[in-house]
Structure 1
């Protein structure tokens, strides 16, 4: 009933669970400007580990492929070397990943991966931002782990909590990301992360995607302040980037 989490940077983390090494949204490029359709997104911090440092990866969980802050050039190469990537149907058509619709599951060894709903912005944003998915990992004798992906919808979190009422570890993508072409936030803000943790009954919360890009409206300090104000700072697990952290469900 343990999981080891190594935060690499942005949305990228290495999860060691049930004998698998699982990589989320691979991003390994150095800081700089990245084109994203009509926009340019600026990366301000590089990864804590290189693809070589990460080593073997058994499974990639890709929330979406269409934005460079969730999948970049070096990330694509690392993903291509992995034996299996799970993602949205849109991303699968472009990358060769295995497609998953919400609530479908895929078993990898002892781990069952269930795709769960995510909305990358306010309602109605899908024609602009495209498909996004989150994931829940379960298995006999394993903790239940939620990987939110770039989700801004608490309603999606409520639906997930209804299916998985006891989440041991929630990896929540935050940062309150925003861009001019969308009227509203693209990801959770710190206050929403607190609400999501409560909805999920999370035992541990690992903030991801809360720094490293100029289009983020909030950072790690905002997350710490929000959880402290809510009296939930004991839930926060903030690993030093690049260093594994072993988490055991309460």
Structure 2
């Protein structure tokens, strides 16, 4: 694997495998849910593939987004080191307490503003996510499984980009679409992740049919699936996603490419 730095783009995204995405937007390089370890066991989870691009190739990151720090498939060892070396890390409120500087915690609907190199601003808004079936057991803090957030990126002259995080709830997607209309690109964690012994092994992330339903609700002209491979607990892959979008008549909005390939964020 090459150690040449990944070239900057004007307005594009590449999925590196698992949940990890690199988003070049408004002159900023943003990495979401960094997972850079090689294949192998991570407690009760097993990683089956390494990333298409290494952390060494992304040394110029400006901002890291972590939907939750609790699970290794969203935040593994090398991903943690990468995030803590970044200039800024935005995550859940509980995650920020655990991780310390440079992490800043955001509760759902809280926003943080980042200065862009062109003098403009990027607003990062945390949005809700439900990491399991809605009738699962809620903890005392009002979370299923653990505290998780998604993110919406927006700013003058930029497309509005939604990153779902590990969300299994169509109700939550509907709420986000109602409160933040005009989403231009949606990055949906799909893959129908299922964990033995949890929630009767029902999916804790979007399955393919619900990913297509989420895309229909959001109405974004660009939808990019992520987090559907690279770990053994995913039960639906790229073929199932493509089939579900085709069945729903939504192939025109679906953008899928080999990991490490740039995709434009505007249609």
- Per-residue CA shift, 1:82-130, capped at 9, x if unaligned? 1111111111111122010111100112210000000100124443621
Gaps of 5+ in 1: none
Cα drift, residue 60 of structure 1: 0.7
Question: Is 2:222 aligned against 1:204?
Answer: yes
**1:21 maps onto 2:25 in alignment:** no
Correspondence 1:48-63 to 2 at 5 A: 48-63=52-67
Q: CA RMSD in A?
A: 1.2
CA distance in 1, matches of 2:182, 2:218: 6
Give, in angstroms, the shift of residue 140 of structure 1: 0.8
Moved more, 174-183 or 189-198: 174-183
In structure 2, the residue matched to 1:91 is 95
The equivalent position to 1:217 in structure 2, one of 220, 228, 235, is: 235
Hey, what's the Cα distance between the residues in 1 that align with 2:172 and 2:23?
Answer: 23
1:4 aligned onto 2:22: no
* The one of 61, 68, 74 aligned to 1:70: 74
- Find the aligned partners of 1:55 and 1:238 in 2 and give their Cα distance: 25
| Aligned pairs for 1:33-182 within 5 A | 33-35=41-43, 40-96=44-100, 97-109=103-115, 110-123=121-134, 124-127=136-139, 129-182=145-198
Tell me the alpha carbon deviations over residues 139-174 of structure 1, each in whole angstroms, 9 at most, x when there is no partner: 111001000000001111011001112111000001
TM-score, with normalisation over the residues of structure 2?
0.88
1:241 CA displacement: 1.1
Q: Could you say which residue in structure 1 is the equivalent of 2:7?
A: none
Q: How far is the alpha carbon of 1:248 from its aligned partner?
A: 1.9
The one of the two structures with greater contact order (alpha-carbon pairs below 8 A, sep at least 6) is: 1
Note the C-alpha offset of 1:74. 0.4
Question: Is contact 1:45-1:212 (8 Å) kept?
Answer: yes
Tell me the secondary structure at the aligned position of residue 242 of structure 1. Answer: coil
C-alpha deviation, 1:238, in angstroms:
1.2
Tell me the CA shift for residue 80 of structure 1.
1.1
Q: How does 1:175-194 map to 2 (within 5 A)?
A: 175-183=191-199, 184-194=202-212
Q: Is the contact made by 1:119 and 1:126 (CA closer than 8 Å) also made in structure 2?
A: no
- Counterpart position of 2:5: none
User: Taking structure 1 as the reference length, what is the TM-score of the superposition?
Assistant: 0.94
Q: How far is the alpha carbon of 1:243 from its aligned partner? A: 2.3
Please give the per-residue CA displacement for 1:60-89, whole angstroms capped at 9, x wherever unaligned: 110000100000000011101111111111
* 8 Å CA contact retained: 1:125, 1:182: no
Q: 1:3 & 1:200 partners in 2: Cα distance?
A: 20
> How many pairs align?
244
Asked if structure 1 preserves the Cα contact closer than 8 Å seen for 2:106 and 2:126, the reply is yes
